Amino acid sequence: MNDSDLVEAARQARLAAQAPFSGFLVGAALETAEGAIITGCNVESATYGLTICAERVALVKALSEGHSRFVQVAVVADAGQPTPPCGACRQLLWEYAGNLDVVLANLTEVTGRHQLADLLPLPFDRRQLE
């Protein structure tokens, strides 16, 4: 799959975001090793602490649908600069998806490309629990 299809899926997912407090709509699209695209959007809570990011929505959806191997994730927000996954999203993506490609984009262009390991150096994972 090419980046443009994945980014477009994230752009479309963004339109379903529930962001009544911040107004900051985010969409994510996670590509499985089999080529399926699983999308997610951010869902805010009045308590803010219960807000869930688009990346985690996509990941949890994918896992709950039986997917377990992933290639890349695209994250789209209406921002001039790259909008990378937050720390919680980086941690869960690392644990369940490994060192996948992270494509960042806004409504018109790709704004960054990274490996997850570059965004989450020295991660805590199952190796520390052995």
Would you please indicate which residues are annotated as catalytic (active-site) residues? 55
Residue 17 · residue 25 · CB < 8 Å: yes
Question: In this structure, are strands 70-77 and 37-41 parallel, antiparallel, or unpaired?
Answer: unpaired
